Amino acid sequence: MNLDDKIKQALKVDAEEIELLMTKEKGLFEQLFAIFKGNRRHWNVFGMILAVLTAITMFWSFYHFILANNLDDRIFWGVISLALWTGNMGLKVWFWLEMNRNSTSREIKRLEIAVAQLTAKLHQS
C-alpha cells in the first residue's frame, strides 16, 4: 500500500468525524453573541451601542421629516435620516464581517485538527 492509498483511507475514516463537526455549526444568534467574547469584544460592544444610537436617531429624524412643513426642513431631516441610515448599515456590515471572521477562523482550526490527526495516523502506520 503506497502513501496515496494510506492518505485516501485515512481521509475516508476522518470524513465521518469531520461531518459530525460540520453538523454542530452554530446558528445565527450564537454567531452574533460570539463576537462579544473575543479579543475585540470592547470594540464590538461599542459598535453595538453606536448602532442602537444611530437607529434610534434615524427613526427620530425620519419622524421629523414626516412632520416637516416646508421644503428646507424636509431636505434637512431627509439628509440626516439618510446619513444615519448609511452609518447604521455600515455598522451592520462590520458585525457581519466579524461573524464571518470568526467562522473562517473556526474552519481553519478544524482543518488544522484534521491535518494533525491525519499526520498522526500516517506516522503510526
Joined together, the cell numbers standing for residue 55 give 437607529
User: Exposed/middle/buried for 22, CB within 10 Å: 0-12, 13-18, 19+?
Assistant: exposed
At 36-75, the pLDDT tens digits run 887 888 999 999 999 999 999 999 999 999 999 999 999 9
Domain ranges of the chain: 3-124
CB 21 within 8 Å of CB 111: no
Helices 41-67 and 71-124 cross at an angle (nearest 10°) of 150
pLDDT band at 110 (very low <50, low <70, confident <90, very high): confident
Question: What mean pLDDT, rounded, does the chain reach?
Answer: 85
Instruction: Give the integer Cα–Cα distance in Å for 5 and 91.
Output: 49
Least confident of 29-33, 56-60, 64-68, 77-81: 29-33
pLDDT of 25 over the 80 cut: no
Band the pLDDT of 34: cuts 50, 70, 90.
confident
> pLDDT category, 103, cuts 50, 70, 90?
confident
